[in-house]
Amino acid sequence: MQHIFQEIMGKYNYWLYIVLMMIGLYGMIAKNNLIKKLVGMNIFQTAIILFYISIGYKKGGTLPIIEIPHGHHSISPAAIDIDKYINPLPHVLMLTAIVVSVATFGVAVAVALKIYKEYNTLEEDEIRMRLRER
Amino acid sequence: MMTTDNVFAVLLVVTPLVCAFFVMGLHWVDRRWCYPLAVIANGISFISAVEILISVVKHGTIHYRLGGWRPPIGIEYRIDLLNAVVLVIVSTVALVNLFASYNDISRELPEKKGTFYSLYLLFLTGLLGVVVTGDLFNLYVLLEITSLSAYSQIALGDVRRGPFASLNYIFIGVIGASFYLLGVGYIYIMTGSLNMADVAHLLTRLHYSQAIFVAFIFCMVGVWIKMALFPLHIWLPNAYTYAPTASGRVIAPLMTKVMVYVMIRLMFTVFGITYLFKVVHISQFVVWLASVAIIYGGLMALSQNNLKKMLTYIIVSEIGYMVGGAWLGNKLGLTGAILHIINDAFMTFALFLAAGNFAYRLGELTLDNFNDIFSKMPWTMAGFVVAGLSIIGVPPTCGFFSKWYLLLGAFAARQYFFFVALILSSLVNAILFFRIFEKGLFGGGGHHVSVRGEIQEAPVNMIICLGLISVGLVVLGLYAGDIVNTFIIPFIPQGLG
């Protein structure tokens, strides 16, 4: 029991992202309201962003800005302790991914608005019923 | 010899991207300028793609470093024969569609010309970028540019059903792209690199890692969702049917084909054949899935009463051809799959062009409207017949040759179920198309006046485009041997059985 607990707590960031991802997927699949589905979609994407953020992080690490000691003009690469700095690349990638997810959300909301103007409802089952009637 | 600097590689992607913004701006200045600018941007992409293809055939792979950064750190455009061919296909289809769709746009979206052409160019940018890039994350971003412009174009279509189909496509498309992104994340954890060639090199030592297996499955499922492999195809038929004619015609042939390209690129360049066929044992399963996709697509196409919807189910079936061929794990199968990417892009494009012409004159595309169509629209019908025969696989049209390679590959790999599925699919396609031909020739007594007045031949620019592509289908068939020898055989990785 203790073993399992340690296993989970040792990698809690990954567990968290899986739980969030499942919440998002559940929202997208099970909810009937289109806006709720959109929120699910956003949670799903955020989970992946958090996953990327956590893989770049190091315990006790700081921003990768190298400070040159006073009086020096440069610092030799060997003198840099890479364990002290977090990996910035996944974070930079996620800036782009955030932009993508915002853009997707924007397009999706605009399309949902178009649906609302046509059907006066955002409940999926009602829309499907109307589509079948015709 | 290796060329490191080829300006066309970047011109190809940047021109439509920049012009997309100017087209949007010109919409407010003078709407008449949107169309010529879109044609110019697309034309420059087309010329660049052709130049790149010539250069790759002559001098070998092109490496272009964006911003001058070295590959493992910077983004690299890496163009070998496979990309170069797909680039030419994408830009050709988009350009011809621009010429063909002039009348449709004026009729369907007169108030939104600027918006439409802007989205169209962004879609082209995304597709070309996905094909040209050698960076896994860059691929994701460009894939999302492609998808977002596709979503919005589909939402511009049929007022009742278009937006709803688009929203469903968004939900499923986002899941697909996110799965791919997750897979890339796992690859990054294990290798610390995002450059395809670099990752491929590092992966050779990580074949038995659990994380890499997870990454592989995530990437593949993501790509399968985006290309609509059965049973992940639910979004496709509605999205492609209810899109505006002009965009459906370019999204349907290109989006799926480019995703098949991405799959082949990931399989054979990034993960490598040892990993695919020696380490993970899923090829049998995927070939079965592809066979089911072929049969399912055919049967669903049979049960449709609307021409466009029928064509979308044919696409579902054709996806099975290419996925199955790539996973057969032998030279013949992969050759067939790549040749089918080329052929199927043009075959589906020809079919959708013909469907567009019919829609322009008939309005509704229910099959009963096709009564006596041969005498009313002879030229369109001629193009449709060539495209239909090509889908069925009648020589000398190009569809026959890729199917022949696939059949040989299936036989050599002893995948008899796939073999049978291919043959059955030909039979089903024959029924599908001859049903329409029969109606068109002998089905008199239909109503000859549609909602749009007396039925006559489609406008001449649409006819010319359709004619061009239909003749192209026969030419592609006649030169199939040369295409295989020049473009495909050099790409096939060594060591494939």
CB contacts < 8 A, A to B, total 70
Chain B residues with CB under 8 Å of a chain A CB are: 137, 140-141, 144, 148, 151-152, 155, 159-161, 163-164, 166-167, 170-171, 174-175, 178, 181-182, 185, 188-189
Instruction: Measure A107 CA to nearest chain B CA, in Å.
Output: 7
pLDDT tens, position by position, B345-361: 999 999 999 988 888 88
Check whether domain A2-60+82-133 has CATH 1.10.287.3510, yes or no: yes
The answer to which of A83-87, B300-304, B348-352, B467-471 has the lowest mean pLDDT is: A83-87
Q: B231-265 b/e with 16+ CB inside 10 Å = b?
A: ebbebbbbbbbbbbbbbbbbbbbbbbbbbbbbbbb
Report helix, strand or coil for A62: strand
Q: Residue A125 and residue B434: Cα distance in Å, rounded?
A: 38
pLDDT in tens, B17-75: 999 898 888 888 888 888 888 899 999 999 999 988 988 888 888 888 887 788 778 88
Structure confidence at residue B274 (pLDDT)? 85
- Is A58 near chain B, with CB under 8 Å? no
CB-based contact (8 Å) between A37 and chain B?
A: yes
Secondary structure (H, E, C), chain B: CCECCCHHHHHHHHHHHHHHHHHHHHHHHCHHHHHHHHHHHHHHHHHHHHHHHHHHHHHCCEEEEHHHCCCCCCCEEEECHHHHHHHHHHHHHHHHHHHHCHHHHHHHCHHHHHHHHHHHHHHHHHHHHHHHECEHHHHHHHHHHHHHHHHHHHHCCCCCCHHHHHHHHHHHHHHHHHHHHHHHHHHHHHHCCCEHHHHHHHHCCCCCCHHHHHHHHHHHHHHHHHHCCCCCCCCHHHHHHCCCHHHHHHHHHHHHHHHHHHHHHHHHHHHHHHHHHHHCCCHHHHHHHHHHHHHHHHHHHHCCCEHHHHHHHHHHHHHHHHHHHHHCCCHHHHHHHHHHHHHHHHHHHHHHHHHHHHHHHHCCCEHHHHCCHHHHCHHHHHHHHHHHHHHHCCCCCHHHHHHHHHHHHHHHCCCHHHHHHHHHHHHHHHHHHHHHHHHHHHCCCCCCEECCEECCCCCHHHHHHHHHHHHHHHHHHHCHHHHHHHHHCCCCCCCCC
Residue A97: list chain B partners with CB under 8 A: 140, 181
Cβ contact, residue pair B155, A52, below 8 Å: no
Kindly state the average pLDDT of the residues B173-195.
91
Among all residues of chain A, which has the CA nearest to that of B142? A100
Sign of CA dihedral B284, B285, B286, B291: positive
- Asked if A25 and B167 come within 8 Å (Cβ–Cβ), the reply is no
Distance of CA A66 to the CA centre of its chain: 28
On the question of pLDDT at B1 being above 60, the answer is no
pLDDT-based confidence at residue B241 (cuts at 50, 70, 90): confident
User: Per-domain residue ranges for chain A?
Assistant: 2-60+82-133
Select from B148, B159, B185 the Cβ nearest to the Cβ of A104: B148
For the segment B362-399, what is each residue's pLDDT rounded down to a tens digit?
777 777 777 777 877 888 888 899 999 999 988 888 88
**Is 80 exceeded by the pLDDT of residue A55?**
yes
Residues from chain A that touch B151, judged by Cβ atoms under 8 A, are 107-108, 111
The rounded mean pLDDT for chain B is: 87
**Interchain CB contact of A50 with B (< 8 Å):** no
Q: Please answer yes or no on whether A108 and B144 come within 8 Å at the CB atom.
A: no
Whether the CB-CB separation of B38 and B121 falls below 8 Å is answered with yes
Q: So what's the pLDDT on residue B2?
A: 44
> With bands split at pLDDT 50, 70 and 90, how would you rate the model's confidence at B438?
confident
Helix, coil or strand: residue A103: helix
Q: What is the mean pLDDT of residues B292-300?
A: 92
pLDDT, residue B450, reads 55
Kindly list the domain boundaries of chain B, sorted by start residue: 282-497
The helix-helix angle for B81-100 and B245-265 (nearest 10°) equals 180
Question: What value does the mean pLDDT of chain A take?
Answer: 86
Determine how many CB atoms are found less than 10 A away from the CB of residue B403: 25
Segment B307-365, tens digit of pLDDT: 888 999 999 999 999 999 999 888 888 999 999 999 999 999 999 999 888 888 877 77
- The per-residue pLDDT for B9 is 83
Which residue of chain B has the CA closest to A27? Answer: B171
